[in-house]
Structure 1
Amino acid sequence: MKKTFATVLLSGSVILLTACGSGDGDSNFIPSNGIPINNIQNPVVRVDAYTDPNTGDEYPDLNADRQLLTYKMLGVDDKEVQATSLVFTPTTAVPENGWKIVVWAHGTTGVADKCAPSEQGLGNTTVLIQKLLDAGYVVVAPDYEGLGSEGNHPFLNLKSEAYSITDAVVAARKYLTDQGEKVSTEWLTVGHSQGGHAALGAAQYASRANLNYKGTIAVAPASNLAAILTGGENSVKGLPGNVQTPVYAKLDMFTALIVAGMQGHTVSVNYNQVFKPQSAAIAPIAETECAPDVANTLGTAMGQYAATHNNSLADYGRTQDNFMTVPVINNFLVGDSQPGSVKLNQRVIIYQGSNDTTVPEGATLLLKAVLASKGTTFEYIDDKFITNVADRWDHSTVVSANVDNIVTDVKSLMPIQ
């Protein structure tokens, strides 16, 4: 599987390495980079106390002041939209130079409102968030555009994710300042998976916040999406249907989320352009259900088909042949959503596990090459120092095994005093 994926990556590297950054349709440009400064008037729409979304009680896993902020951001269609973000403030004394802000950018949950972290809970990420709070940082955790608010979430749209972050920081600073808190201009982003992708987007578009951006920590960041999809496809080619099903279900789940996230936006594509009829009838579930249920639904249909076709998916209708050449999809996969395609002006730290099957190491090595080619200063941390290959990091343990290291990185990039 690794050899197959490496072949796909190498064969696609010319296209992927020439991916361009996204533009912006807003009229208020900064001449040097085309990114509009956030000048939204009164960005804070509403502030609510944040409680456990499952019980309604005070959130039990975090020792902090907890607010759910509804704020205005510039959306993917270049119009102001409302979005939501969690804001966690330490209960300790304000640092001498004011609160510094760490943004936590979450991984894939889905595109439906109920998939927003503020709606379904923070899960194991509370461990990292609490340690950042204990270290003396305010933590801002945006839901991303369209999650927990009007419209579909533009899944893996780099600029949308970036503005979800920059505009949440501006709104959080406004809220804290209005509360009489002293707030620094310094901030940085930590993100995992889709959140790593978003964190790299925040680095590219950081000037929108018009503050002092200090750096990026991207853990198993999504990138080189075409290579990931093609590599995953080829990794199980010719194998029995029961082996292919879980791999294909995950790949088609990501594809369905991409298409679902485009619905109702200026740049869009319909399901039939991307999926064959059998899957096109199922894929819209991505608009209403969260990622695991989307994958399960797609996988169940495949499994039922294989069970009646000699354990084969050979003629099952999944994605359209060459769907990645559809202009909207092609531009999305190798253009607008490729992170690191311009020089990032602040230091970047990347963590990647060699046992990761969601964001394979090969994709992140391609990202590493892109960053180097653009002159970005970065540090690449892998797990090759772990002797036992089975103990090396997967997509989940790359975070859990490095919580303390990530906090140390934050302190290095943005000392508390």
Structure 2
Amino acid sequence: MPTSTEWTQIPDSEAPAAPRGGTVYRVRYTAEGARGPVPMTGLVTVPPAPRDDGTIASWAHGTTGLSTSSAPSLYKEGDPIGRYIPHWTAYLQHWLDAGFIVTQPDYEGLGVDEVPGTYMHRASLASSINRLVEEAAARFSPGARWVNVGFSQGGYAALAASDSPADNLAATIAIAPGDTELVNKNLRLMGIRPVDVAKMLKGKGVRFFPIVMAGAINAFEEVDPADFASERGAELIEKAQQLSLPELTDEVEGVSGGELFISKANTKTMQDLLDAQRLELMAPQGPLLILTGDNDTTINREAVKATIATWEAKGITVDYREVPDSDHNGSVRNSFDIQAEWVRQYVG
């Protein structure tokens, strides 16, 4: 596998996921995947008037899917992930307009046909962020500081990156971060299994289960779908690797979560490996701001607060705030002013 980094300059009109007005590059670089070094891709946008200190803002996006076509760097107008991209691009425009170089990793498997997607794999996500920042700094701004921002899956990714960050990390902002627990520990103590949780879901609520299962299968050689996946589950796991999240959401219309599993499903290996990736086991380096929307029903805000309490008991300082009048997606667009004021303390 080649390890050289490939930079392809493209008009910003051909990269709708990138903020407008700068010089845009699609980058293919090498990063550490779940099972070793793999090629990954992403976008780097250099503003027309960069800050004097050349500070970089890294953006880790929310879930778009596991397929190659789920990569924001490949997004074209009209693609299914268009229900997410314009909102994030408008948010990133603020960073570019403020003079920050903007980096946007796609994550393992997204944008690279020969690499399967691994979803919530801590080390892989961290490497996708850190390596792209390193590449951008080396090319455009040697020694520059960087601001590490992520949302939902990307909030988890940003926190993972801050656990062992690239040099010169100035601050980390995690917006509505996800986590890897299939069943929270209180429910586990009651004997609740992932299958039991899935049985309570139907239709749209099922959409993340095939992605999580497919990601775990691709990330961990110990995970065998024969241990838990039904014929219908195997079909949706395959579709999760071929489709973006909006397309997969259409596929699970009318599907009950229980249909994904065989009657005596054994998910212990998968659950244990995912639990070993969870947020509370990280030690993110500060300064650290975590934001959640006060009306967010996609993530468990109480679980986020419990994780913060665990970190604080270890001596990790966290600034936690709730974004007023904001659901999951609204927590991004409604919080930039909060972020800008907070990060100014660290980068000016």
Task: Give TM-score, length-normalised by structure 2.
Answer: 0.85
Is 2:100 the partner of 1:132?
no
In the superposition, relative to structure 1, how do residues 264 and 345 fare at CA in structure 2: closer, same or farther (>3 Å)? closer
- 1:382 matches 2:339: no
Confirm or deny: 8 A CA contact 1:105 1:190 kept in the other structure.
yes
Pair 1:117–1:280, CA change in 2 (3 A) = same
1:276 to 217, 221, 230: 230
Partner of 1:68: 26
Letter in 1 for 2:136: A
Identity %: 25
1:200 and 2:159 matched: yes
Aligned to 1:4: none
How far apart are the structure 1 equivalents of 2:303 and 2:293? Answer: 11
**AA of the residue aligned to 2:288:** V
Residue 79 of structure 2: aligned partner: none
Of 152, 163, 166, which residue of structure 1 is paired with 2:127? 163
Question: Structure 1 stretch 261-270 or stretch 109-118: which is displaced more?
Answer: 261-270
Taking a change above 3 Å as real, the CA distance of residues 158 and 290 of structure 1, as seen in their structure-2 partners, is same
C-alpha distance in 2 between matches for 1:193 and 1:60: 19
Deviation digits for residues 262-319 of structure 1, max 9, x if unmatched?
Answer: 44555352333233333333332001001122122122444xxxxxxxxxx9xx5233
CA pair 366-412 structure 1, distance change in 2 beyond 3 A: same
Amino acid at match of 1:351: L
Partner Cα distance (2:65, 2:16) in 1: 25
Number of the residue aligned with 1:400: 333
Give 1:202-221 correspondences, 5 Å limit. 202-206=161-165, 209=166, 211-221=167-177
Instruction: Please state if 1:410 is matched with 2:343.
Output: yes
Q: CA deviation at 1:158?
A: 0.9
Letter in 1 for 2:345: S
Q: Is the 8 A contact 2:108 2:128 kept in 1?
A: yes
Tell me: CA distance 1:228–1:46, structure 2 relative to 1, closer, same or farther (3 Å).
same
2:27–2:42 contact (8 Å) kept in structure 1: yes
Say which of 120, 143, 147 aligns to 2:106.
Answer: 143
Is the 2:148–2:171 contact (alpha carbons within 8 Å) kept by the matching residues of 1? yes
Aligned to 1:106: 61
Q: Are the counterparts in 2 of residues 44 and 174 from structure 1 also a CA contact under 8 Å?
A: no
Among candidates 121, 125, 147, match of residue 188 of structure 1: 147
Following superposition, the deviation at residue 329 of structure 1 comes to 2.8
Structure 1 position 363 matched with structure 2 position 303: yes
Tell me, yes or no, if the aligned pair for 1:152 and 1:263 is still in contact at 8 Å: no
Contact preservation (8 Å) 2:148, 2:172: yes
Which residue type is aligned with residue 405 of structure 1?
Answer: I
Letter of the structure 1 residue corresponding to residue 92 of structure 2: I
Instruction: Work out the CA distance in 2 between the residues paired with 1:222 and 1:59.
Output: 22
Which residues in structure 2 correspond to 1:287-306 (within 5 Å)? 287-302=241-256
CA distance in 1 between counterparts of 2:266 and 2:320 reads 29
CA distance in structure 2 between the aligned counterparts of 1:295 and 1:171, rounded to whole angstroms:
35
Task: Return 5+ residue gaps in structure 2 as ranges.
Answer: 77-84
Check conservation: 2:38, 2:115, Cα contact below 8 A: no
Task: Answer whether contact 2:27 2:41 (CA < 8 A) is retained.
Answer: yes
Q: CA deviation at 1:51?
A: 4.2
- In 1, Cα distance between the equivalents of 2:210 and 2:172? 28
What's the secondary structure of 1:190's corresponding residue?
A: strand
2:279 corresponding residue in structure 1: 339
Task: Tell me the distance in 1 between the aligned counterparts of 2:70 and 2:243.
Answer: 8
Using the alignment, how far apart are the partners of 2:17 and 2:269 within structure 1? 45
Supply the distance in 2 between the matched residues of 1:60 and 1:141 (Cα, whole angstroms).
8
* Residues 204/84 of structure 1: CA separation in 2 closer, same or farther (3 Å cut): same
Contact preservation (8 Å) 1:154, 1:261: yes
**Cα deviation, residue 101, structure 1:** 1.0
Q: Relative to 1, partners in 2 of residues 1:276 and 1:409: Cα closer, same or farther, differing over 3 Å?
A: same
Q: Deviations over 1:24-80 (max 9, x none)?
A: xxxxxxxxxxxxxxxxxx96521112346xx748889511111111111122213x2
Q: TM-score, normalised by structure 1?
A: 0.72
Query: Aligned partners of 1:321, 1:125: CA distance in 2, in Å?
Result: 41
2:202 maps to 1:245: yes
